[in-house]
Amino acid sequence: MFRRIFSASLVLFFSMSAVCAFAQDDKNQEKTVKLLTIGNSFARNALKYLDQIVTGQGRKIIIGRANLGGCPLDRHWNNAEKDLKEYKYKGKKLTLTEMLQAEKWDIVTIQQVSHKSFKRETFEPYAANLIALIKKYAPQAEIVIHQTWAYRADHNWFTKKDATLTQQKMYDGALANYLWLADKYKLRVFPSGAAIQLCRETQPVKFTCPDPKFDYKKAEKPALPNQDGSLIVGLSWRKNKAGKWYMGNDAIHANPRAEYMIGCAWYEMIYGDNAENVKFVPKGIDEKDAEFLRKTAHQAVKDFKQVDSIKKK
């Protein structure tokens, strides 16, 4: 299923020179890569371990985060138009234009908010406007699309009685839109969503819901259902405004397993080094699982059919 999705004639293989375009400086020494993300909490997920992954490989990276929780493309553009100081960098509040000029960025990523990612009509003209803004204020930067992922199978969008949207439909719709955007502007894609979808299909222990052995109605803290194989935060105990505990579900955001795998995929996309070579492993992830996640990250990057991007001279 995963490979079928990627075989679409919409896209072409990309030049490998683009993958490691930022790896060398004029003295043939490895340079510090400067990366800026214009996104939301999904970009935060992607960046969670990236710095540690990069430094663990003996490389250097500077990361700027123009990320606002739940922020879609249109809000980022509206902020830019109104010169709103919504972003933080080095202890200062900056406008998006100021963020673009804060460093000589090598890569700037853009993405749609996940709940609009499968709705093509939400992308333009905001993506075009942001791309033009980046080209104006950070002309040296490669603009890259961050492909977001589909929610966990127990998200209420998928489980309600009259649901027509499924996890697969959400993934397929978002993928088609990101590939359409990449083709339109000849941009590379960082395949975070593809890595998660591939992992869901190939991991030895697959997440299933609901847990047939768990009594959801009578559950009391700290009991939780089996969530093995999950790549999303999922169920946990929380307090409501009245101070009472309840079992809430974050079926949207990446958990540490997925954050690590995505970070490995981004590392390979930026440096052209096989993600399987990554040495850093976060606490709480055992080495066998970490090896599988690195392998999956590499496979997702390898399988993803990129648009034939601007070729480096």
Residue spans of the domains in the chain: they are 2-206+254-303
Region 102-118 average pLDDT: 98
Given this model, what pLDDT does residue 313 score? 32
Burial call 277-300: b when 16+ CB within 10 Å, e when fewer: ebebbeeebeeebbebbbbbbbbb
Topology (CATH level 3) of domain 2-206+254-303: Rossmann fold (3.40.50)
Given this model, what pLDDT does residue 22 score? 55
pLDDT at 13 over 80: no
Region 106-125 average pLDDT: 98
pLDDT at 226 over 80: yes
Taking only the tens place, the pLDDT of each residue in 160-205 is: 989 999 999 999 999 999 999 999 999 999 999 999 999 999 999 9
Taking only the tens place, the pLDDT of each residue in 17-60 is: 444 545 555 455 678 999 999 999 999 999 999 999 999 999 99
Q: Answer whether 0.85 is exceeded by the pTM.
A: yes
CA distances from 302 to 70, 190, 196 (A): 30, 11, 14
300 versus 313: the higher-pLDDT residue is 300
Given this model, what pLDDT does residue 307 score? 74
Q: What is the C-alpha to C-alpha distance for residues 25 and 45, in angstroms, rounded to an integer? A: 29
**Share of residues in the chain with pLDDT > 90 (%):** 87
pLDDT at 97 over 90: yes
